Structure 1
Amino acid sequence: MGHIAKKLLSGAALLVVVAPAARAADLPVRKAVPIEYVRVCSASGAGFFYIPGTDTCLRVSGRARFEAGTIPVQNRNNSSGDLSQYRGLMRMNFDARTQTGYGTLRAFLRVEAASRTGVFMTSGTQQRIANAFPAVGQDQLGRVQNFIIAEKAFVQFAGLTAGRASSFFDFYAHDYELIASTAGSDLASTNLLAYTHKFGEGWSATLSMEDPNFRKNPFYASSFGAPATGPGQSGVNNVFNTAPSPVILGTNADGTANTVVFLDTVQRSRMPDFVGSLRYDAPWGAMQLSAAVKDVNIGGFIANSAVSTLTPVPGAAAGPVTPGTAAALLAARGLGSGAQTEYGWAVQGGLKLNMPWIAPGDGLYLQGAYGEGALLYTGFSIFTGSYASQLGPVQGAPFVHALADAVVNPLTGRIALSQSFTATASYLHYWSPEWRSAFFGSYGEVSFPRGTRDAFSLVNGIVGASAPPPGAAFAVSPILRDNYQIIAGTSLIWSPVKDLDIGIEGTYIGTGPLSGRIADQTRPVTVGGLPAYTEKRYDTTQIRMRVQRDF
C-alpha cells in the first residue's frame, strides 16, 4: 500500500509541473528583437560605417592640438611687451554620405574650439570677423581669447556645394605650414553656393557665389575730430557706424583746403563675390587657375559733416556748410550724393608637383596672385592681419603698413582701388618616413594710385597728415605708403607613430615701404619739427612648436 501511495504522489507532482508547461506551449512565442550590428561601409572609404537602420555611411574623426611659441618684441611701450603664446585646440569632424541615383549625397560638419593666449596667437582678425571672443580682465584683455565655431557645415549633391566651406578661389592655403605665415589666399570658412562640373580626365570647373563680408578689407578713412573745424560733427568719427573720408570741395589761394565734406566709407553687403576656378588633378600633382570679382562700395556724404575752414568775415569762426551747398558742390564734381561702387577683381594661378623620385611624400607648391581692390584674395595681409586698413606688422612695430582695399581720393572724391600681388613657394621633404621638413617663402606688395597720398596732405589740419607735399614730415608719414612684406621659414616634424605630429617651425618676417623711410613711432623724438628716428624696414622672427594627434 505504501509503495502504491508513493507512486500516486510522484504522478501528481509530475502533473503539477507538466501541466503549466503544456498550457504555455499553446501560447504564441515572442521572438527576441534582432540586434543590428554596426557594419563597415567600405564603399565610402576607410573609417566609414553604416548608421544603424539607414543606408547612410558616417565617418567620425577629430584632432587635439597643443602649441606654444614666442615672438620677440623690442618695444615695451603702448601695451606692448608680450613674448609668449599658447593654444589648446579641439576639432570634431562628421562626414555623412549616401549613395543615390544622382551620385553621392554628402553632408560635412566640422566644429572647432580653442583657448589661446599671447601675442599673435590671439587673433584680432578672428575677433573682428566674430570668430572669437576676448577676455576682459585687466591682465588678460588682448592676451586671452577663446572661440567655438562652425568651421564647416556644407551639403554636396550632384555637383552642388552649399553651406560653410573653404573658398573655391584658394589653392595652396598653407598646406605645408604650421603657423600659416606666407602671403596667399586662405579663407577656410565662408558661406557659399557653388556648382562644380567634372569633365575629361581630371578636369573640373567651378562657379561659386561667396559671402562678401569675409573678403572686405576696409577703405583707408581718416576719422577726424580736430577742434575748431565747425559744429555738427558729433559721432562722425565713429569708425564702426561711419568711416569718414574727406573730399575737398574748395581751396584757399595757397592750395590748402577750406571746404571739406566727409563720405561714409563703411562698405555695405550689396552683392555676393563671384568666384570661378579651373582645376586639373593628375598623378603628378595639380594645377588651378582662379578668378574673383567683388564690389567695392561707399555710401553718401555724412549729414552735417561738411565744414569750412575759411573765415568769410574777419574775426568770425569757421562753421558748417549747409547741406544744400554741399550737395551742389558734390554735384559739380559729378558725384551726386557721393554713393559709389567700383568692382575689385583678382586672379590666381597655382601649381603642385608631387616629387616621389626625391622621396615618397615630397611635394612643391608654386602660386601667384594679382588683384585690384581685393587684398584678401591676393592674401597680402595673411600674416599681419585682416579687416583693418592699417596695422603694425607685429606687436610693437615702429610703423604701420597700409592694407586698404581702396581709398577715396580727397581731391576728386572718387574711389581709388589698391593694387596688390603675392608670390609663394613651399616645398615639403621627407628625410625618412618619420621625419619631414617644409621650406617656404613669399613676397608681396600693395600700392595705391599715384597722387592719392599727396592729395591727403591738403587736408592735413583735419585728417592728421604732416604737411603739404613736398614737406619733409609728410615724406616719412605712414599715410597710404606703398609697402612690401617678405616671409621665409622652415620646419622640422617628427611622426613617431601614425597620426601623431611633434614639430617646430621658425619664420622670418620683413616689412617696409617700397620707397623712402617711415617715422619710428616707438621713438617719438623730433628735431626742428621733424622725426629724429626713421625706419626703412622692420625685421622680426617667430618660433612655434606643436603636438598634434589626429584620429
Structure 2
Amino acid sequence: MKLVKSLLLGSAAGLTVVAGAQAADLPVKKAAPVEYVRVCSAYGAGFFFIPGTDTCLRVSGRARFEATYSQGYSRTGSNGDLTGYRGLGRLNLDARTQTAYGTLRAFVRFELASRTGAYLKSGTQERIANAFAATGIDTFGRAQQYVNVDKAFIQFAGLTAGRAASFYDFYAHDFEIIGTSLGSDVASTNLLAYTATFGQGFSATISVEDPIFRKNPLFGTATAGNAASQFQVFTAQNNFTPVVAYNAAGAPIGEAFYNVDQRSRMPDFVGVLRYDAAWGSAQLSAAVHELTVGNASTVLTFGGAPIVNGTTATGVAVAPRIQNEYGWAVQGGVKFNLPFIAPGDALYLQGSYGEGAQIYTGYSQYIGTYTQSANNTQGGNFSTFFTDAAVNPLTGRMELSTSWTVVGSYLHYWTPELRSAFIGSYGEMTFGKTSRNLLGGLNFNGLGNPVNSPGAFLYSNALRDTSQIVAGASLIWSPVKDLDIGVEGLYNRVDIRGGGRVVDVNKAAVGPNTVAGLNAAGLPINSAGAVLPTTNYTDTFQVRMRVQRDF
C-alpha cells in the first residue's frame, strides 16, 4: 500500500514539473496598463488631465429654479400673467494647455431653459434669437424655450476669439439674481480681442465686436406706399421713415420712404483700460458703433401718386441719401473689496454715457432691448422709447439720441451663509427735438403726421425724453457651499422729463384712446370728443426668488 501511494505521488510530481516546463515555454500576454485620470493642480480645483494628453479639463455647471411675481394692469392679448417660472441648466467645459507662449484655453458654455409667464418669458431673448416661443392657445406669448451657446471662445497669448462677454462691460449685474438695473450687460457676443498686461495690475484691451448685439432700432414712422402715413408703424424688416423728395430746382415735390432697419457693415470697436489690485479693480471703457440704413424703397408725390422712374410733371424727384452715422459711448467703473466690514463684502460704482448707442449705456435693461419702445409692465401707463436715432424728414440726416446711466451695488455678508445685495440705478434718455417736431408736429400733405391735430402731438409718448429709476434688494441663504436660496425685490419708475404729460393708455382703456385733437382748453380728446386722461410717470415692482446649485 505504501508502495502504491509513493508511485502515485511521484507520478503527480513528475506531471507537475513537465506541465510547468511546458507552460514556461508559452508566450505570456501582458495586461494593458491602466491609465488613471490624474489631477491637474496647475489651474485650480476641479481640473484633471484628459487621458493621453497634456490638456487639463474642468467640467462644471449649474441647475437653477426661478419664480417671479410682477405687477400688471391688463388682461388683453397675451397679458394677464402675474407669475412666471424658469428652469435653467448650464454646462461649462474649460480646457487648458500649457505652451511656450503661455496658457492655451478653450471655454464653452451651453445654457438651456424653459421660461413661462410674466417677465421670465423674455421678448428680448426672442428678438435676439436666443429663444423660441410656444404657439398653443394657452401658451402663446407665455411659454418659451431658451437655447444658447452662451460662451465659446479661445484665449492664447493675450488673444481672445469667439463668443464671450463684451469687454466694454464692467459691473454687468454681478450681484443681482436677474440683471435688471440700468447698465450695460451683453454676456454673449462674437468678438476678436487682444489684451496686453503691463505689470502691477494694469492691462489694456482692443476688441472688435459683433455690432448686431448692440443695435437698437432706429425710429420708423410710416408704412411705405401709404400717403396717410401712420405714426410709428414697426414690424420686422418693415421699419420705414419718410424723407422729403425734391426736384432739380430744389423744390419739394414728394416723399421718399426709407427702410431704416440697420445693416451690418462695420464692427463695433471697443477699447478698455483696467487696473486690478488687492483693494478691488477699476475700468475705463469706450466704444464706437455704426448706424446704417438702406436706400429709398418707394417715392410718392405729395398727392399720394407713385413716382414712376423717379420723374413727375414737375421734374426728377431727388431723395436725400441718408448718410451713416457713428454712435459712441464711454463708461467708468470701480469695485471696492470691503473685507474690513465683513469677509466677501464689495461695492460697485459705475457710470456710462453714450450718443446713438443706447445698449452701451443700458438704459433699456429693465424694460426691454432690441425694440423701439416698450411698457415697463403689462398694461403700463405708456411706452418708453429707446431708439438710437431718428431721421430728420427735411434733411434726411440722423439725429442721435443721448442716454446715460449710473449704478451702485453693495454686497454684504451678514454671516458666512447669509448675504444681501442693495442695488440702485438712475438714467436719462434724450431725443433730438427737431426730428420729433417735424415727424409729429408738422403736416405737409400727410408726411409723418400721426394725428388729426398737430398740437395733439404734445401728449404723445413717442420720442419723449424720460428718466428712469431701478432699485432693489435681495437676501440669499447658502446653507452649504455652492447652494443659493434667495429672494429679490425690484422697483422701477419712468418719468416724462421737461414737465410734459402723455396720454395714460391704462386709464383710457374704455373707448378709443387715440388722440384725435385738442379741445378748447388744450386737453387731448379722442374721436368721440371725450377728454383722455394723462400722466407724467409709470411705475411697477416685481419680486423673484431662486434656488441654485453650482457644481
Q: Do Structure 1 and Structure 2 share a fold, with TM-score over 0.5?
A: yes
The CA deviation at 1:359 is: 1.1
The CA deviation at 1:396 is: 1.4
The CA deviation at 1:321 is: 2.2
The CA deviation at 1:190 is: 0.5
Q: Is the 8 A contact 1:224 1:462 kept in 2?
A: no
Residue matched to 1:144: 143
Answer yes or no: is 1:503 the counterpart of 2:486: yes
Structure-to-structure mapping, 1:424-463, within 5 angstroms: 424-457=407-440, 458-459=442-443, 461=446, 463=448
Structure 2 counterpart SS, 1:12: helix
Residue matched to 1:298: 293
Structure-to-structure mapping, 1:238-249, within 5 angstroms: 239-249=235-245
Structure 2 counterpart SS, 1:399: coil
The CA deviation at 1:7 is: 3.5
- Structure-2 change in CA distance of 1:308 and 1:386 (3 Å): same
Q: Distance in 2 between matches of 1:369 and 1:272?
A: 20
Residue matched to 2:503: 519
Q: Distance in 1 between matches of 2:44 and 2:434?
A: 58
The CA deviation at 1:44 is: 0.8
- Structure-2 change in CA distance of 1:320 and 1:381 (3 Å): same
Residue matched to 2:190: 191
Q: Distance in 1 between matches of 2:137 and 2:191?
A: 39
TM-score after normalising by structure 2:
0.91
Residue matched to 1:100: 99
Size of the aligned set, in residue pairs, is: 525
- Structure-2 change in CA distance of 1:452 and 1:462 (3 Å): closer
- Structure-2 change in CA distance of 1:512 and 1:530 (3 Å): farther
AA partner of residue 271 (structure 1): M
Residue matched to 1:368: 351
* Comparing 474-483 and 72-81, the one that deviates more: 72-81
Q: Distance in 2 between matches of 1:465 and 1:293?
A: 33
- Structure-2 change in CA distance of 1:324 and 1:270 (3 Å): same
Structure 2 counterpart SS, 1:395: coil
The CA deviation at 1:224 is: 2.2
Q: Distance in 1 between matches of 2:238 and 2:3?
A: 113
Answer yes or no: is 1:271 the counterpart of 2:231: no
AA partner of residue 106 (structure 2): A
Q: Is the 8 A contact 1:306 1:323 kept in 2?
A: no
Deviations 1:373-423 (A, max 9, x none): 101101111111111111112221121111101111112111111111111
- Structure-2 change in CA distance of 1:356 and 1:19 (3 Å): same
Answer yes or no: is 1:538 the counterpart of 2:538: yes
Deviations 1:282-317 (A, max 9, x none): 000000000001110111101xx212243xxxxxxx
Q: Is the 8 A contact 1:167 1:210 kept in 2?
A: yes
The CA deviation at 1:177 is: 0.7
Answer yes or no: is 1:550 the counterpart of 2:550: yes
The CA deviation at 1:162 is: 0.5
The CA deviation at 1:217 is: 0.4
AA partner of residue 391 (structure 1): A
Structure 2: unaligned runs, 5 residues or longer: 514-524
Deviations 1:191-213 (A, max 9, x none): 11100000020001000111111
* Comparing 61-70 and 4-13, the one that deviates more: 4-13
Answer yes or no: is 1:348 the counterpart of 2:336: no
Residue matched to 1:330: 318
The CA deviation at 1:463 is: 4.4
Structure 2 counterpart SS, 1:7: helix
Aligned with 1:307 (options 291, 300, 305): 300
Structure-to-structure mapping, 1:199-278, within 5 angstroms: 199-224=198-223, 239-249=235-245, 259-278=254-273
Structure-to-structure mapping, 1:461-480, within 5 angstroms: 461=446, 463=448, 465-466=450-451, 469=454, 471=455, 473-480=456-463
Residue matched to 2:517: none
Q: Is the 8 A contact 2:68 2:118 kept in 1?
A: no
Structure 2 counterpart SS, 1:213: helix
Residue matched to 1:80: 79
Q: Distance in 1 between matches of 2:453 and 2:316?
A: 27
Structure 2 counterpart SS, 1:64: strand
Deviations 1:207-233 (A, max 9, x none): 011111111001010232786659xx9
The CA deviation at 1:330 is: 3.1
Answer yes or no: is 1:285 the counterpart of 2:280: yes
- Structure-2 change in CA distance of 1:85 and 1:238 (3 Å): closer
Residue matched to 1:321: 307
Structure 1: unaligned runs, 5 residues or longer: 252-256, 311-317
**Aligned alpha-carbon RMSD (Å):** 2.3
The CA deviation at 1:76 is: 2.5
